[in-house]
Amino acid sequence: MATPPFDLNLAIHQWRRRFTQATPVRGDSIDEMEAHLRDSVAALQRQSLTQEEAFLVASRRMGPSDTITAELAKVHPGDVRRNRAGWMLAGVFVFILITDFASLVSGMTVLLGNLWSIDGLRLGWLGVVASGLALTAAALAIFSVVFGRKSSNTAVSDRWLAKPAFLTTALLGTVIALKLAGGAIPILLARQMSPTGLGGVYTVLGWGGLVAQVLFLAALALVFVRLASQLVAPTRSLAPLILVALLVSQGAEPRVEAQTTTPQAAETKSSQRATLDQAMKLWQAVGKGFKHSFLK
Amino acid sequence: MLSKELVAASTVPLVLSVLTEGECYGYALIQRIKELSGGRIQWTEGMLYPVLHWMEKEGMIASEWRESESGRKRKYYRLKTEGRTALLEEQQQWLTVHETLKKLWQLPRST
């Protein structure tokens, strides 16, 4: 069997990866060293080495990636911190994206279900199931990315991960779009449904959705616990904080649509309105409690 | 070959001195040192970059990405005033050591 021909670009790509694995260094530094490596390879080839031999000698002369990155990290200590913080923020965006996507899916389901004039409480449950399915799909996707055996097409994922600014902006844009789209749903629903029906939908959706999100967080916590032993020190100490921050961000914004977006809500049956009020008060209490205990 | 300690101590004055000849990028800088030392001064080439970045942070040198004649993008370093001052200081110290050793080694052996 013939050995595959040597691919310099692929070899350099793999060489670059070694510099980002242990201690992340800024892409600029790696670009600079890649330029050096390519110069070195070209010069060695002129001395009648094959491209593969030239690459081996040149990368050997560059030295061990872990020592170099450790030295670079000493010169740019802020880089490592900023890099970590950046990826954590991206993680927060992904989380918000997933939960917003789930509420959008459940809202759309409710809107669709309303076309068949299903009653409010059942519609609410339908929405909860849809949101649960969306969150389950997201949890499974996270599991497969984190614990999956085969590293599928690393070149593609590398190309994406190499542009964190673009990736994060895209994530943020999608999050905002999802939020805007999600905000339209209660208004549409309020136009189409009776106040009683609407109250039913949001009572069920508020609590069912909460349960679905807590289950989703539990799945994330499971991923985290399994990963915890593999994380390096600074990340491990920061990760629980991130989880708390997420809980706060989720708990601190009670869903007020049911009360504020419908002028007809005043006509809601008093018993149902009492339920809604209680639910709202609890939400707000939970939000305040989180704010009080974690943000001070 | 130089000892590890001597390499560490001499990198900064060597870099500063090469840059007095004009701006230069990492690979060419190493080639110049190799050429002048007849190949006796050899660095772990990648380790030059943390040093260059540190020198830039200290304000001795400045850098700029530019396309070379061959169309390849390279990061060029040039000397700043602080670098020239630092080089004068280094020169004083190295010459002191050099002259002292020279005098000692030129003494007739008293055996």
Tens-digit pLDDT profile for residues B30-72:
999 999 999 888 888 999 999 999 999 999 999 999 987 878 8
Q: Is the pLDDT of residue A102 over 70?
A: yes
- Tell me what pLDDT residue A193 has: 79
Helices B26-36 and B48-57, packing angle to 10 deg: 110
Displacement of CA B64 from its chain's centroid (Å): 19
Q: Is A67 on the interface with B (CB under 8 A)?
A: yes
Strands across the sheet containing B61-67 = B24-25, B73-79, B61-67
Distances from the Cα of B9 to the Cαs of A64, A66, B4, B13, B31, in angstroms? 21, 22, 9, 8, 19
Q: Is A270 on the interface with B (CB under 8 A)?
A: no
Of B26, B28, B47, the CB nearest to A32: B26
Decide which of A262 and A54 is more confident.
A54
Decide which of A96 and A27 is more confident.
A96
H or E segment to which residue A223 belongs: helix A195-228
Q: What band does A261 get if pLDDT is binned at 50, 70 and 90?
A: very low
Give the total residue count for chain B: 111
Q: Region A103-130: what's the mean pLDDT?
A: 84
Question: With pLDDT > 70 as the criterion, what percentage of chain A qualifies?
Answer: 71
Q: Is A265 on the interface with B (CB under 8 A)?
A: no
Q: Mean pLDDT for chain B?
A: 91
Q: Could you tell me the two tokens for A61?
A: 């002369």
The model's pLDDT over A153-192, given as tens digits with 9 standing for 90+, comes to: 565 666 666 666 788 888 889 889 988 888 888 888 888 7
Three-state SS annotation for A99-127: HHHHHHHHHHHHHHHHHCCCCHHHHHHHH
Which residue from A54, A7, A15, A57 is spatially nearest to A33, judged by alpha carbons? A15
Domain chopping of chain B, boundaries: 4-106
- Tell me what pLDDT residue A80 has: 75
Q: Is the pLDDT of residue A262 over 50?
A: no
Q: Has this prediction a pTM greater than 0.90?
A: no
Give the phi and the psi of residue B58 in degrees, each rounded to 5: -75, -5
What is the CATH T-level fold of the domain B4-106, as seen in this structure? Arc Repressor Mutant, subunit A (1.10.10)
Q: What band does A120 get if pLDDT is binned at 50, 70 and 90?
A: confident
Question: With pLDDT > 90 as the criterion, what percentage of chain B qualifies?
Answer: 73
Q: Could you tell me the two tokens for A154?
A: 């690393």
Q: How many helices (H) and strands (E) does chain A have?
A: 12, 0
Q: What band does A259 get if pLDDT is binned at 50, 70 and 90?
A: very low
Q: Mean pLDDT for chain A?
A: 78
Give the three-state DSSP class for A176: helix
CA distance A159 to chain B (A): 20
Give the three-state DSSP class for A26: coil
Of B45, B53, B74, the CB nearest to A72: B53
Distances from the Cα of A192 to the Cαs of A110, A188, A189, A196, A273, in angstroms? 11, 7, 5, 12, 19
Asked if A84 and A234 touch (Cβ cutoff 8 Å), the reply is yes
- Tell me what pLDDT residue A270 has: 61
Contacts (Cβ under 8 Å, ≥6 apart) of A64:
B44
H or E segment to which residue A86 belongs: helix A77-115
Q: What band does A36 get if pLDDT is binned at 50, 70 and 90?
A: very high
Mean pLDDT lowest for which of A91-95, A219-223, A259-263? A259-263
List all residues of chain B from 11 to 70 with a beta carbon under 8 Å from chain A: 25-28, 44-47, 49-50, 53-54, 57
